[in-house]
Amino acid sequence: MHRTRIKICGLTREEDVAAAVAAGADAIGFVFYPKSPRYVTPQRAAELIATLPPFVTAVGLFVNVPAEEVAAIVRVAPVALLQFHGDETAEQCAAAAAAANRPFLRVFRVKPTTTGTELLEYEAQSRASSRPHAAQFAGLLFDTYVDAYGGAGKVFDWSLIPEELAHRAVLSGGLSVQNATGAVAQVRPWAVDVSSGVEAAKGIKDAGLIAQFIAAVRAGDATPGNGA
């Protein structure tokens, strides 16, 4: 049975990192986008990363940051995986990841008009940009297209995701305690990612919601058809 991996994103406090880890999160996301209310400085992220136990992945989120600035941030905040959430081309993602010598996730923000063909082409371009010894393309994260870059708490039509992509992608965008079981049962993603749905306020996570969200994902894993 596939165990859906879980990333909790936009953490800013030690108590929230501890709650996510205790609840079984596989990854913790730190937002290096200054306009976000979840923004943390590289120094602050380093303090939070230092509290992580082994086998919990620190993910750094970037929006249209030049390669050398990404590398400088990673030298201070030792994230293990980069997530490019802006308008970066595949090559810009790979160049920034190579400068930082880290693997990367590329983000596709899904619109109602998005087609499966577009998504398949986007993944192919992303995979073609992969540099296995310096900047491995780790996969796609699907989020909802909104007038911000992310963290909006809005869902998109999950049926737009081609099945051949879903099982190796991260599903994101408006996930919550209420919809996580159904999202996992319908999409069978490799992983899910959530921010707004587990917050008391932007950047302030709710330990109870985190635990309930992870339980809901596990309930989705337990539904029939999860043979992968």
Binding residues vs ligand LARABZUK (CB under 6 A): 9-10, 29, 31, 33, 36, 38, 61, 63, 85, 143, 149-153, 172-175, 193-197
∠45-49-55 over CA atoms, to 5°? 145
At 53, list the tokens: 């136990």
Query: What does the block give as tokens for 102?
Result: 């880290």
Report the residue number, 69 or 134, with the smaller CB distance to ligand LARABZUK.
Answer: 69
Residue closer to ligand LARABZUK by CB (options 128, 199) is 199
Q: Closer CB to ligand LARABZUK, residue 87 or residue 128?
A: 87
Residue nearest to ligand LARABZUK (CB): 151
Cα–Cα distance, 218 to 144 (Å, whole number): 23
Q: Please indicate whether residue 9 is annotated as part of the active site.
A: yes
Catalytic residue list contains 143: yes
- Marked catalytic residue, from 16, 26, 93, 143: 143
Encoded tokens for 141: 């994260």
Sequence-ordered list of residues with C-beta below 8 angstroms from that of 20, at least 6 positions apart, any chain: 8, 11, 28, 205, 210
Q: Name the minimum Å distance from CB 31 to ligand LARABZUK.
A: 5
191-194 and 170-171 beta bridge pairing: parallel
Length of the chain equals 228
Which residue, 131 or 154, is less far from ligand LARABZUK as judged by CB? Answer: 154
Instruction: Kindly list the catalytic residues.
Output: 9, 143
